[in-house]
Amino acid sequence: MEKKLLIVDGLNVIRRLYAALESENDVDRRVERTQSIAIEALAKLTSQFSPSYAVVVFDSSGKTWRHEFYPEYKLGRVPMDDQLLDSLPDFAKAFRFNNLACLRLDGWEADDLIATLAVKAAQSNVKSYIVSTDKGFTQLLDDERIYQYDYFAKLGYDKAWVPGKYGVEPHQLTNYWALVGDTTNRIPGVKGIGPKTALSIINDFPTIEKIYANLPTFSERIQKMLAGGYEQCIKSRTLVALKTDVDIGIRLSQLSYLNSGSTKAKP
């Protein structure tokens, strides 16, 4: 029987469900309804994918290495409502009650934990399904044992989907985003370079290092845009690249969907 790991980006799902209930004026009631709908969503996902292993991953409550590396990271993003933030341990408790392991690791974003879990599972020939709308996970799809699923759009993404969406292969995305930037997370790209120009550059030279090593081969217009931007591009690429080697400290067997109570997960 094929082994599958379901990885749910906890806050991504919860915040979207919470936002959809904006007409609910009673905040406590809104949080309660969000939790109820989240449990229903997870039940649908486990029924749909029939995973051997499953885990809901949460962000650390404090700053992560990206904030230390780049203080402007995610600066200006709308903060989570206090009531929702304070209720997250209750969400985790409810998920675990429904046999779903929950994972949070101090100092780490969920993105890096999810990437590490998916890559390690793939190395064990276990297929991973990442449930999130975050485009950052598409860089992992170069491995054909890793998939992404948008619960809200009911769409799945794989390696073959990426070139049609971005014009590059999954493994090229971090260099592509280093050029165009990521406005959602306040990660700057190169001023003046949009997706079309970035593709023309990447098609000639696939990495930031090779691009700048061959700067004289570009048109004068592109040379002017790229001039002096090497260090910023390297920094941006570092920020968008997901870590796949985090020492999480749990074994895949501890995420068994029917035996998740023994995990070292934090609420």
Can you state the angle between helices 195-204 and 173-180, rounded to 10 degrees? 130
18-35: average pLDDT: 96
220-244: average pLDDT: 96
What is the share, in percent, of the chain residues with pLDDT greater than 70?
97
The SS3 call for residue 4 is strand
CB 170 within 8 A of CB 140: yes
Measured distance CA(190)–CA(174) in Å, rounded: 14
Please report, in angstroms and rounded to a whole number, the separation of the first and last CA atoms in the chain. Answer: 32
Chain-wide mean pLDDT for the chain?
93
pLDDT at 8: 98
pLDDT at 266: 40
Judged against a pLDDT cut of 60, whether residue 264 lies above it is answered with: no
Mention every residue, 6+ apart, whose C-beta is less than 8 A from residue 230: 208, 212
pLDDT at 260: 39
240-255: average pLDDT: 95
Q: How far is CA 100 from CA 44, 52, 68, in A?
A: 13, 11, 32
81-108: average pLDDT: 95
The SS3 call for residue 106 is coil
265: left (phi over 0), alpha (psi -120 to 50) or beta: beta
Can you state the angle between helices 110-123 and 10-19, rounded to 10 degrees? 130
Nearest to 265 by CA among 130, 86, 104, 111: 104
Measured distance CA(191)–CA(127) in Å, rounded: 39
Nearest to 174 by CA among 202, 200, 146: 202
What pLDDT digit, counting tens, does each position of 100-114 carry? 999 999 999 999 999
Measured distance CA(12)–CA(260) in Å, rounded: 22
Question: What are the residue ranges of CATH 3.40.50.1010 in the chain?
Answer: 4-163+251-262
pLDDT at 258: 74
10-22: average pLDDT: 97
227-246: average pLDDT: 96
For domain 4-163+251-262, give its CATH number from 3.20.20.140, 3.40.50.1010, 3.30.70.1290, 3.40.50.1260: 3.40.50.1010
pTM, whole model, 2 decimals? 0.93
Q: How far is CA 198 from CA 178, 183, 184, 195, in A?
A: 9, 16, 18, 5
- What CATH number has the domain spanning 167-240? 1.10.150.20
119-146 b/e (C-beta count within 10 Å ≥ 16 → b): bbbbeeebbbbbbbbbbbbbbbbebebb
CB 3 within 8 A of CB 125: yes
What pLDDT digit, counting tens, does each position of 32-83 carry? 999 999 999 999 999 999 999 999 999 998 889 999 999 988 887 788 899 9
165-179: average pLDDT: 96
pLDDT at 186: 87
Measured distance CA(117)–CA(209) in Å, rounded: 29
Question: What are the residue ranges of CATH 1.10.150.20 in the chain?
Answer: 167-240
